[in-house]
Structure 1
Amino acid sequence: MTERALRLGTRRSKLALAQSGQVARAVSRLTGRSVELVEITTYGDTSREQLAQIGGTGVFVAALREALLRDEVDFAVHSLKDLPTTQPDELVLAAVPPREDPRDVLVARDGLTFGQLPEGARVGTGSPRRMAQLNAYARAHHTRIETVPIRGNIDTRIGYVRKGELDAVVLAAAGLNRIGRADEVTDFLSVDSVLPAPGQGALAIECAADNAVLAALLGELDDPRTRVAVTAERSLLAALEAGCSAPVGALADLLGEEEAVTEMRLRGVVGTTDGSTLVQLSTTGPVPTSHGDAIALGRELASEMLAKGAAGLMGERAH
């Protein structure tokens, strides 16, 4: 008798289905079982409000987690940057696969790079984090842009540029890579200028905590280096008491040669959305050898940022 297919809960967007499909194929190879995608609509998919207004944190995640708790799906795949920093006791983050490119990218009219955008260019993004850093970057280069809040999937956002409503939009490189549209990128934004969202480019595979067998199987897909990096980034976010709609960027880099990584550098930024004020700091230390060490690194940097006035620059707080 063949075992029933494993049920993978996923959002319905083209990007979510693409990344869940990648995980489904990997799990199928690993377990020898078929995996079926169970499409779930989340509040973040149906709401027309800006993410910062509806709280950001968890709006793409809650419905998937409810399906897990009701045993309607066996495991779920999330974009890690959408995941609240508090993990429910009933669920376990079974795997964080190798990370995609964490950078933000520009898709602009006429193939323009960020430095080539005209004075007053209209740049679309739904992220206060991106707004803060893009405006600061423009100020540093003695030019001015207008950041325009937008919602929608990748097609919708790029459509604003194609129809001439915006000069450019800023998106995550990972998303475009996963749906095979990286050729539409006109500029990769250096992390030295625009830090990504904590966990950007990484996926989270979650299942019920009491399903130890499945958790162990999914754990085969875990990448320890990616997990330690995103744990530090998310610890910074949590210690700032900021939700994923707050203007917080973070990135943990592993330093050294591929086979001899010895240090990890964690960078963080908080800013006002107009880019007039940024608190940007970094810390470097030995590569954390445990979950606790990674958390401690994030908390340490958050403490320094708070001492520099970061709390006063954040709008939305997590509840």
Structure 2
Amino acid sequence: MIRVGTRGSALALAQTQTIADSIAARTGEEIEIVRVVTEGDTSRASLSSLGGTGVFASALRDALLAEECDVVVHSLKDLPTAPHPGLEIGAVPKRADARDALCARDGLTLETLPEGARVGTGSPRRVAQLRKARPDLEVVDIRGNIDTRLARAQGPDADLDAVVLAAAGLGRLGRLESATELLELGPWPTAPGQGALAIEVREGARGALRTALKGLDHFSTRLAVEAERTVLARLEAGCAAPVAATAFLDDGLIFLSARVYAVDGSEQLTASHAQYVADSEHPAIEIAERAADELLANGARDIAPLGD
């Protein structure tokens, strides 16, 4: 039996079940889903006050190291950039839609929201982007699962005009019809790793599980998210830093655009680079370091809380 660890939210269970089914199909082994409660699931405080991404990952990693499960599934954007002793990312499956989705009342879009509309998000990056695009909006900090957040904008007791969520999460739950606008990555880049999953195992995992993970790993997705996450690490960007990065591969080239925002959305800096994958042993890392160094040279630390 292979035990797959996951958070207990509907989204986490849905995406974990997909991975579990793939592992089962590749190994012929019976699969057990092991639910793990994380601090991020039990606390209602803002993510930035709790310490950001690690609040979802740490309990899963503890369970993996304690051999309570054999593999864990993370939303990659929830995974800290620093490697964890004793663990490794065994696979990064093909990425889903990396865009953000506006889910508004009455079919409204970002442009057609009325002046002073109340828009909910728990992400400092989305806060900065909303304030830059529409300084007139009232941005409200929210927490909760996807259904809870959607209900605040589209339910019978809605108290907001819109919420911003990840399109990938909506899609995995069959709720993409709730989106009234998908925000394109060019003008609205998203969190490093958004839309991708990370399958983490103990170092040295062997046998059928290792073979299955090799089959699940998607080369271009892994390379793209490695570039995005290296930008985050190079900038020393904490959970409160409004940082976005988008990378993709096309015709042998890796393209990366990274952006840093002022918290209030008043300023932004962008660095965009491309290079041939075959020209380097570590193309994702090299392109990310160039982008991050350009942002730092142009004053990224002056406009955003980096290195905190």
TM-score by length of 2: 0.95
Aligned residue among 310, 313, 318 for 2:300: 310
Equivalence for 2:100: 104
CA drift of 1:49 comes to 0.9
TM-score by length of 1: 0.92
After superposition, give the CA deviation of every residue in 1:12-44 in whole Å (9 maximum; x if it has no partner): 000000000000000000000121110000011
Say yes or no: does 1:153 pair with 2:145.
yes
Aligned residue among 213, 217, 224 for 1:222: 217
CA drift of 1:215 comes to 2.9
Equivalence for 2:182: 188
Unaligned runs of 5+ in 2: none
Give the secondary-structure state (helix, strand or coil) at the position aligned to 2:185: coil
Equivalence for 1:258: none
The answer to whether the Cα contact below 8 Å between 1:107 and 1:187 also exists between their aligned partners in 2 is yes
Aligned residue among 194, 198, 201 for 1:204: 198
State the distance in 2 between where 1:250 and 1:94 align: 23
Give the secondary-structure state (helix, strand or coil) at the position aligned to 1:198: coil
Evaluate the alpha carbon distance shift between residue 83 and residue 72 of structure 1 in structure 2; reply closer, same or farther with a 3 A threshold: same
Say yes or no: does 1:281 pair with 2:288.
no
What residue identity is the alignment partner of 1:99?
R
What residue identity is the alignment partner of 2:146?
I
- The equivalences for 1:87-102 within 5 A come to 87-102=83-98
State the distance in 2 between where 1:245 and 1:290 align: 33
Evaluate the alpha carbon distance shift between residue 226 and residue 99 of structure 1 in structure 2; reply closer, same or farther with a 3 A threshold: same
Equivalence for 1:175: 169
Aligned residue among 214, 218, 228 for 1:233: 228
State the distance in 2 between where 1:40 and 1:316 align: 31
Give the secondary-structure state (helix, strand or coil) at the position aligned to 1:99: coil
CA drift of 1:131 comes to 0.8
State the distance in 2 between where 1:170 and 1:316 align: 24
Say yes or no: does 1:115 pair with 2:111.
yes
What RMSD in Å do the two structures reach over aligned CA positions?
A: 1.5
The answer to whether the Cα contact below 8 Å between 1:130 and 1:194 also exists between their aligned partners in 2 is no
Evaluate the alpha carbon distance shift between residue 26 and residue 175 of structure 1 in structure 2; reply closer, same or farther with a 3 A threshold: same
Equivalence for 2:129: 133
Equivalence for 2:27: 31
Give the secondary-structure state (helix, strand or coil) at the position aligned to 2:151: helix
The answer to whether the Cα contact below 8 Å between 1:8 and 1:73 also exists between their aligned partners in 2 is yes
Give the secondary-structure state (helix, strand or coil) at the position aligned to 2:55: coil
After superposition, give the CA deviation of every residue in 1:93-151 in whole Å (9 maximum; x if it has no partner): 00000000000000000010111101111110000001111211225xxxx21111111
Give the secondary-structure state (helix, strand or coil) at the position aligned to 2:163: strand
What residue identity is the alignment partner of 1:27?
I
Mean CA deviation greater in 144-153 or 16-25: 144-153
State the distance in 2 between where 1:219 and 1:55 align: 32
Equivalence for 1:9: 5
CA drift of 1:288 comes to 5.9
CA drift of 1:253 comes to 2.2
What residue identity is the alignment partner of 2:29?
R
CA drift of 1:191 comes to 1.1
Equivalence for 1:21: 17
Evaluate the alpha carbon distance shift between residue 160 and residue 288 of structure 1 in structure 2; reply closer, same or farther with a 3 A threshold: farther
After superposition, give the CA deviation of every residue in 1:69-115 in whole Å (9 maximum; x if it has no partner): 00000000000001111112311100000000000000000010111
Give the secondary-structure state (helix, strand or coil) at the position aligned to 2:200: strand
CA drift of 1:211 comes to 1.7
Aligned residue among 230, 254, 262 for 1:272: 262
What residue identity is the alignment partner of 2:303?
L
Equivalence for 1:43: 39
Evaluate the alpha carbon distance shift between residue 291 and residue 194 of structure 1 in structure 2; reply closer, same or farther with a 3 A threshold: farther
Equivalent residue pairs, number: 305
State the distance in 2 between where 1:244 and 1:288 align: 33
State the distance in 2 between where 1:199 and 1:171 align: 15
The answer to whether the Cα contact below 8 Å between 2:241 and 2:263 also exists between their aligned partners in 1 is no
The answer to whether the Cα contact below 8 Å between 2:46 and 2:122 also exists between their aligned partners in 1 is yes
What residue identity is the alignment partner of 1:222?
D
What percentage of aligned pairs have identical amino acids?
50
- The equivalences for 1:72-91 within 5 A come to 72-91=68-87
State the distance in 1 between where 2:60 and 2:168 align: 21
Evaluate the alpha carbon distance shift between residue 263 and residue 316 of structure 1 in structure 2; reply closer, same or farther with a 3 A threshold: closer
CA drift of 1:312 comes to 2.6
Equivalence for 2:246: 251
State the distance in 1 between where 2:263 and 2:124 align: 6
